[in-house]
Amino acid sequence: MGRLGKNDVVSIEDLMIADIERIFELADSFAAGLERGETLDRAHGLIMATLFYEPSTRTRLSFESAMHRLGGAVISSADMHASSASKGETLADTVRVVGAYADLIVVRHPRDGAARVAAEYAPCPVLNAGDGSREHPTQTLCDLYILRRKKGQLRGLTVAICGDLKFGRTVHSLIYALARFGANIVAVPYNGMNVPDYVLERIAAESKYGLSTVTMEELRSLAGGIDALYLTPNAPHQMALFTSEVPRGVAPPAAAPPAAAPPAALDAFYLTRLQRERMNDQEGAAGTYGHFDVRALKTSRTHEAVVMHPLPRTDELAYELDSDPRAVYFEQAAAGVPVRMALIAWLLEQNGTERMRPVAPAPAIRFKAHPAPRCSNPGCISRHEGAYLVPRFRLGRSSDPSALALVCEFCERDLKVEFVGNARTHRYYRFDRNLYGYVRSWIEEGSLAAFESVKQAEESGYEPYRRGPQREIMNAEEVAAACRALATQMVADLPDLAAVTIVGVVSHGAMLAMRLRDLIEAETRVRPPCAALDVFGGEAAFHPLDDGAADLEVEDRTIVLVDDVINSGWTVQRAMTALWQRGRPAAVKLAVLIDRGHRAVPIRPNYVGKNIPTARAERVQVRLAPPQGAAAGRAKGQDRVVIYSMVESLKEGEGVE
């Protein structure tokens, strides 16, 4: 390992309070040395690599300056678009390679959890310079350093954190740190950009801390001298807001101060810009973002507050504030050099030993069954590096008894699982609290399976735990007649078959797609291209179903999406998303073998093989014989459609295998 131990800083919680205090001590001495123009050789012989998959001014340049100031060297990929990442190299491969060229890697990445992945694969320490909307721990070191310098200490301070608290990664790291240092946090989200639940759950679990959320209007009322709104702590650890009951530097009180306590001061406003790059169009369009100017500092409770911002700013912070001594954001940015020097020096002080992580994560669930559940957060690294990253989850806490709560190991977002299964018995169940004990034992034996839908469970070869008697509603002749009806409808409706591509949803939809393509060819001598779309598991994937066919073209094509039955509409919705991610089709039409006639399903099929109205609690299962020549060794079977009443929940006290 050389001179640095494998001590990654992925989260601010990878540093203990004593570590942070030591880093500040070192930063003080480096700041004084920089003032005196001292040169240092503490990091002589070390090389730091900066890998920035997202733009940066402060973080990258101050890290690089810090390493130079310590006498070390820097190699930099400031624009990963100009690196082999643009050829598709994975993050894991990149950091493994760069780890052979450098002693330390600083990485910034747009995906949540990317720094954790980099740390797992790099042979050297990894410092997180911002990963998606998740964390930015070294920015928090700069923020805390300046806040402490301005206010003397951190414990007991009241900090209003304003703006985009949902996607602001600097905010999340700062909240974790302030909670541990015993500061009061007033969350002031603009536009409903609230602190995410996973952040709140973490501070509640680890620091027994609950922060208070107020609107900008409420904050203005408070700051303006109206005492009517009084905020009380919801955990003993947290002190009442806007009170002077708690002297600085002492342990927090065990109980809330009386409601009539006089309002006290705010110590800091921490402002953030709207993180537009993390939003979808709808989020970005909603409402207006706040604008902070000197008026906010004119009240008796705010006139001593410092104004902080991690920068860059857009238009949320007035330029007129820049000359005000309470505006400390440029000092935060300047602190980037001594603080990051101190972090590197602190790593050197570990003398090549690897420390225990202060917060040990709970063990991840091993999903033996395929497909493993996938994270629900589209920004999670596990959704983008699926070639090698197996999604990892641990058990979460859920207030919903009808869903099993899992927490993604990479991004911490919740996944609510409605259907669980046992890989040993190949049975699936609708989850409810009676199953929880069984689920825990299946986790222990590595046999838990989790499904997003009944269809996914069945596609994976699982049978329901219990179902009503089944009855055949279509035999092989009727299935063949329904396919012919579908092909005829398509030929009549689609004037230019040369512009049509047939896409079948794996697995029965794909088998039907091939049959329809053959029927259309027999009738018209036109053979439309045909592909399978796998929407289950990780990223949706297209597979051409024509020998030697080129990659699937979507742009300006008329796509006929084929599925056997629509149940909840989940499959078709995911397929539509996958299609639109691939390109802009001229039109998308939907063909289904069986239309159950559910008015609640949002997508109406254009082409229907047979209408079979069914009750919502009924399940229609299509079984198709594999195509000629396929599935050697498998029982051929016959086409058949059956109906049965849906899976039932486990009853109280009932045992399962």
Which residues lie near ligand CP (CB under 6 A)?
A: 56-59, 130, 136, 139, 310-312
Whether 111 is a known active-site residue: answer no
The tokens for 457 are 């469970």
**Spatial separation of the C-alpha atoms in residues 593 and 571, rounded to whole Å:** 15
Residue 91 makes CB contacts below 8 A (sequence gap 6+) with: 85, 109, 114, 117, 118, 121, 381, 385
Of the candidates 557, 507, 569, 553, the one whose C-alpha atom is nearest the C-alpha of residue 532 is 507
Radius of gyration of the chain (CA): 29
**Whole-number minimum distance, CB 352 to ligand CP, in Å?**
29
**Spatial separation of the C-alpha atoms in residues 466 and 216, rounded to whole Å:** 53
Whether 50 is a known active-site residue: answer no
**Spatial separation of the C-alpha atoms in residues 110 and 600, rounded to whole Å:** 37
Give the residue with the Cβ less far from ligand CP, 136 or 340: 136
**Whole-number minimum distance, CB 170 to ligand CP, in Å?**
6
Whether 651 is a known active-site residue: answer no
Give the residue with the Cβ less far from ligand CP, 311 or 480: 311
Give the residue with the Cβ less far from ligand CP, 59 or 447: 59
What amino acid occupies position 466? R
SS3 sequence of 29-94 = HHHHHHHHCCCCCCCCCCEEEEEECCCCCHHHHHHHHHHHHCCCEEEEECCHHHCHHHHCCCHHHH
**Whole-number minimum distance, CB 51 to ligand CP, in Å?**
13
Give the residue with the Cβ less far from ligand CP, 81 or 636: 81
Q: How far apart are the first and last CA of the chain?
A: 48
**Spatial separation of the C-alpha atoms in residues 56 and 312, rounded to whole Å:** 9
Whether 87 is a known active-site residue: answer yes
Among 50, 58, 302, 340, the active-site one is 58
Torsion of CA 399, 415, 565, 616, to 10 degrees: 0
Give the residue with the Cβ less far from ligand CP, 310 or 421: 310
Q: How far is CA 382 from CA 119, 390, 538, in A?
A: 14, 7, 8
Among 116, 136, 384, 413, the active-site one is 136
**Whole-number minimum distance, CB 16 to ligand CP, in Å?**
23
**Whole-number minimum distance, CB 508 to ligand CP, in Å?**
48
**Whole-number minimum distance, CB 647 to ligand CP, in Å?**
49
**Whole-number minimum distance, CB 334 to ligand CP, in Å?**
12
DSSP designation for 253: P
**Spatial separation of the C-alpha atoms in residues 215 and 298, rounded to whole Å:** 19
Residue 635 CB burial class (10 angstroms; 0-12, 13-18, ≥19): exposed
Among 108, 278, 508, 557, the active-site one is 108
Q: How many CB atoms are closer than 10 A to CB 352?
A: 13
Give the residue with the Cβ less far from ligand CP, 279 or 311: 311
Give the residue with the Cβ less far from ligand CP, 54 or 283: 54
Whether 136 is a known active-site residue: answer yes
- Active-site residue list: 58-59, 87, 108, 136
